[in-house]
Amino acid sequence: MENPLSGAEFAPKTTYLNTASHGLLPARTADAVRTAVDETVEGRIDMTRWFAAVEGARARFARLAGVAPTRVALGSAVAQQVALIAGALPAGAEVLVADGDFSSLVNPFAVRGDLKLRTAPLEELPGAVRPGTALVAVSAVQSADGRVADLAALAEAAREHGSRTLVDTTQSTGWLPLDQGAFDYTVCGAYKWLVSPRGVCFLTVPEDGGGLVPLQAGWVAGERPWESCYGVVEELADSARRFDTAPAFLPYLGAERSLALIEEIGPEAIGAHDRALADRFRTGAAELGRRPVPGDSAIVAVPGLGDAAASLREAGVEVSVRAGNLRAAFHLYNTVEDVDRLLAALAGA
């Protein structure tokens, strides 16, 4: 049955409820990548057109994030971009993170060695900000169990204490509307809820660069890239593009098409759809005698059910196991029938 939200863009052969691990590619995205592969094989490479598509991806993400494109830098992975922020902190700076947050967000600060890394429970994070906290870093939605951070309270606490904020929106952008301009930095891997190929990651920074040093700057970070191919780059871009790394063309060509689809449907409509399916699963799991993690999230974790993932896969239902929880994630290509199939499989497990 065609999903009215996403039309004929998706064609899963399983009951795919694992977007929190990796999103499915839309047909338009697969077509764009195949075309670029053929062009590469046949010697019809048009880098000018490809770079224009990359800039299109930047602009589309900026609109979804609610910021100007001049605040968006391009990279390939969350840890890579978080490392820029970690590297810019002075020795002895205190970084506050949530207990058990995703390692790609936390570890770049830990490996510095000369930073003070402090943790607090997610629900207590705003109250844990104190004088001397240089940076608070948190995922908007927790990967392990889908809990949603109180970002408004966190931003207010950070303002009160003069702390910078970093929000990882990898598990939220695409279904959870968020003004990312309210934070100093955000980072987003696009291969999950933005249904893009892996290898696309967006970093937002303040208009003044937020004190970051463009240590990864190569020729693409120049104000005039094609004039910055040799020797020292004399003039870095007067925008977040100074923090770009050279884009992987195939992923970014696909991402431009995927982001177009997310824009066309709208994160508000996607979020309402995703949350309704997640709520149906929470209710059904409770009726089966389980206790899913409460909340209003597109990600639902059920403690104590991790061992069921293997049998579910045999039944054609794709979920994941994180921190011992069975984790189901519901997105624009999922339907009520998918939820009911998962519940039926769990009832018979």
CATH number of the domain that residue 317 is part of:
3.90.1150.10
Backbone φ and ψ for 15, nearest 5 degrees, come out as: -85, 95
* Residue at which a domain ends, from 212, 237, 264: 264
Token pair in block for residue 306: 């991790």
At 28, list the tokens: 């338009």
Residues 170 and 251 in one domain: yes
DSSP letters spanning 165-178? EEEE-TTTTTTS--
Burial 217-228, CB ≥16 within 10 A → b, else e: beebbbeebeeb
CB atoms inside a 10 Å sphere around CB 347: 11
Please report, to the nearest 10 degrees, the dihedral formed by the alpha carbons of residues 19, 25, 29, 34 taken in order: 140
Task: State which residues form the domain around 79.
Answer: 34-264
Interstrand relation of 116-120 and 94-98 (parallel, antiparallel or unpaired): parallel
One domain for residues 150 and 88? yes
- 152 assigned to some structural domain: yes
Whether residues 271 and 242 share a domain: the answer is no
Separation of alpha carbons 57 and 73, rounded Å = 11
Residue at 52 is within a domain: yes
Within this chain, do residues 191 and 210 fall inside the same structural domain, yes or no? yes
57 and 165 fall within a common domain: yes
Judge if 226 and 113 occupy the same domain. Answer: yes
- Do both 276 and 230 map to the same domain? no
- E strand or H helix that includes residue 202: strand 201-204
What pLDDT is attached to residue 3? 80
- The secondary structure of 13-76, three-state, reads CCEECECCCCCCCCHHHHHHHHHHHHHHHHCCCCHHHHHHHHHHHHHHHHHHHCCCHHHEEEEC
Write the CATH number for 60.
Answer: 3.40.640.10
In whole angstroms, what is the distance from residue 97 CA to residue 90 CA? 17
Residue at 288 is within a domain: yes
Last residue of a domain, one of 221, 238, 264: 264
Predicted pLDDT of residue 2: 61
Domain co-membership, 260 together with 270: no
Measured between alpha carbons, how far is 117 from 133 in angstroms, rounded to an integer?
10
Residue with tokens 């994941």: 320
Please give the tally of structural domains in the chain.
2
CB atoms within 10 A of CB 130: 13
Tell which of 203, 238, 264 closes a domain: 264
Asked if residue 80 is part of any domain, the answer here is: yes
Does any domain span residue 247?
yes
Contacts 24+ apart (CB under 8 A), 182-185: 182/151, 182/155, 183/151, 183/155, 184/210, 185/85, 185/210
What is this structure's pTM? 0.96
* Model pLDDT for residues 185-199, shown as the tens digit of each residue: 999 999 999 999 999
User: Burial level of 300, CB count in 10 A (0-12/13-18/19+)?
Assistant: buried
Q: Is 9 a member of any domain? A: no
Q: β-strand 317-318 against 94-98: which pairing, if any? A: unpaired
Tell me: do 67 and 204 sit in the same domain. yes
Residue 156 lies in a domain: yes
Q: Is 6 inside a domain boundary?
A: no
- Within the chain, which residues score under 50 in pLDDT? none
198 and 309 assigned to the same domain: no
197 and 66 within one domain: yes
Query: Are 256 and 273 in a shared domain?
Result: no
